[in-house]
Chain A
Amino acid sequence: MSRPFLEVEGLAKHYPGRDGRPGAPVFENVTFGIERGEFVCVIGHSGCGKTTILNILAGIDAPSAGTIIMDGREVAGPSLDRGVVFQAHALLPWMTALQNVEFGVRSRWPAYTQREVRSHSVRYLEMVGLGHALDKKPAELSGGMKQRVGIARAFAIQPKMLLLDEPFGALDALTRGTIQDELLAIVRATGQTVFMITHDVDEAILLADRILLMSTGPRARIAETVAVDLPRSRTRASLHHEARYYEIRNRLVDFLVDKAAKKEPVAS
């Protein structure tokens, strides 16, 4: 059996307690794999360490135990191989939308000329529908547009894997729907491998091929894995007509309401 593209094994994180000794782990024994081209969502209550896991995958936080292997190489520190879309968009406010994207592109391809950097960046901003807002500062953009710039910035460096930390959490429902559709289209077109955190059950069912359910911390772990075996052509409009949709949805909601808090992991 071949190994998955991304392999996370025995991941744990604990912070020092008040007496200086390591406290109870936020999460432990987190083990999962992601295949190339797969879209995986993680759902769990606040405080279960989802964001910490994503930050460890991004290389900006270090695990207390466990290993991560991506594409045959251990993940130790940040890398342009993994593009991150941050929860609060994290655009640099003194740069225009275009400069924000160029910032990453220039770092990815240092040999590019100014014109190559620009045309490459413009292409990705056009992809998220922001061709008209290249020279706008983040403060002049709406919440949805800011998050689109963040997505363009992550895609523009053509990472092997995309990490999204509740990217639509701060958006209103309408905008969120539109950007979900856009993201889905881009991911399908590029065959991008994606790891995404969300707390929105419907968002997870719409986007993910597989959903990891995390129990509540401390000592959080991946309690269940739900395969979303709906046709990949599903859209927001058609989703609730799928026969299996409510079955999956009920399973997720049941988990979040009842089982997440239970200490022992449910058989997955």
Chain B
Amino acid sequence: MPVARRWRSVLVSFVILVLVLGAWQAATHSEEAAAVVDPAYAALVGNAAASGGKTPFPGPGEVAAQLWRHLQDPFYDRGPNDKGLGLQLAYSIARVLTGFLCAALVAIPLGFLIGMSRTLYEAFDPFIQVLKPVSPLAWMPLALYTIKDANLSAMFVIFICSIWPMLINTAFGVGSVRQDWLNVARTLEVPRLRTACKVILPAAAPTIMTGMRISIGIAWLVIVAAEMLIGGTGIGYFVWNEWNNLSIANIICAILFIGLIGMALDVLLARAARLVSYRE
């Protein structure tokens, strides 16, 4: 029974969650009982000393309370170092989408061209093979030097990391369109451009969408690191800022949201992929 099995897996998921939270609670609870505080040190650092001179790792309850605060007012803006989690995520999403869309605008037409021509494919291949494995963050100094704008540089880093999977997948999809289908278009004397739009593009669309899905996944991974470097706004900066504030609860909240947004982006593209998929 698929329905019964579904409920069983939901139940197991729930059990895993409870176990993890329980272990977390147990681990953080025992830590709190620690340490005698030197009174001179307490006088020096004030309130922080009350918890034993060391910021304790927050338990699930604390994180949940913090999460609730974030959810109640996600978009507040009280200056450069105090913005709502929702606002920071919005900055990150905007950067990722801009860089990603620019990359798609370049990668898909270029991939199409490369996929259509064996010569171009072989000509571009060495460049792609060398540039693809470069960590996108390695481009950051070059971007900062040439663009001279932190925000644009972050978008450029997203652009450069999302371009490769889309380029490679588009070229591969276009290059491996079934010969039968191309022959159909040829025997029907369909003009080249029409063949490209009506045969090659739909035939390659699922492969292209897969490339886009890989790209957006990588882009979302990279944006956190990029924003830690550029600072100012974004979820990556938020995480770094909270590290400097030693607010572990905030960092955990951010991790949770980064995961959720990443999943949402993936689901969105999976939906789009289903629209262009076909069964043979």
Contacts and interface: CB of A to CB of B under 8 A. Distances in A.
Question: Are A and B associated in one complex?
Answer: yes
Nearest to B199: A92
A103 B186 contact: no
Interface string A34-57: 000000000000000000000100
A157 to B, nearest CB: 7
Contacts of B189: 78-80, 107
Interface stretch (A5-13, A83-91, A114-122, A185-193): A83-91
9 contacts: A58-B187, A59-B186, A59-B187, A78-B187, A78-B189, A80-B187, A94-B278, A107-B190, A139-B280
Contact of B181 (A84, A92, A139): A92
Q: 9 smallest A-B Cβ distances: which pairs?
A: A139-B279, A90-B180, A94-B278, A104-B188, A94-B202, A78-B186, A93-B278, A78-B187, A84-B187
A90 B186 CA distance: 12
Interface centre among A60, A88, A139 (most CB of B within 10 A): A60
Interface of A: 55, 58-60, 78-80, 82-84, 86, 88, 90, 92-94, 103-104, 107-108, 137-139, 157
Interface centre among B194, B198, B203 (most CB of A within 10 A): B198
Contacts of A80: 187-189
Contacts of B198: 92, 103
Contacts of A86: 180, 183-184
B1 to A, nearest CB: 28
A139 B278 contact: yes
Chain A binding surface SS class: loop
Contact of B187 (A82, A92, A139): A82
Nearest to B194: A107
B257 to A, nearest CB: 37
A103 B203 CA distance: 15
A55 B188 CA distance: 14
B82 to A, nearest CB: 51
Nearest to B178: A90
A55 to B, nearest CB: 8
Nearest to B205: A94
A157 B188 contact: yes
Nearest to B189: A80
B264 to A, nearest CB: 27
A60 B188 CA distance: 11
Nearest to A81: B189
Nearest to A154: B187
Given A59-B186, A80-B187, A90-B178, 19 more contacts: A60-B183, A78-B186, A84-B187, A86-B184, A90-B181, A90-B184, A92-B198, A92-B199, A92-B202, A93-B280, A94-B203, A94-B278, A103-B190, A103-B198, A104-B188, A107-B189, A107-B190, A139-B279, A157-B188
A123 B276 CA distance: 29
Contacts of A107: 188-191, 194
A172 to B, nearest CB: 19
A139 B278 CA distance: 9
A86 B194 CA distance: 21
B183 A90 contact: yes
A170 B188 CA distance: 23
A93 to B, nearest CB: 5
B22 to A, nearest CB: 49
A157 B191 CA distance: 16
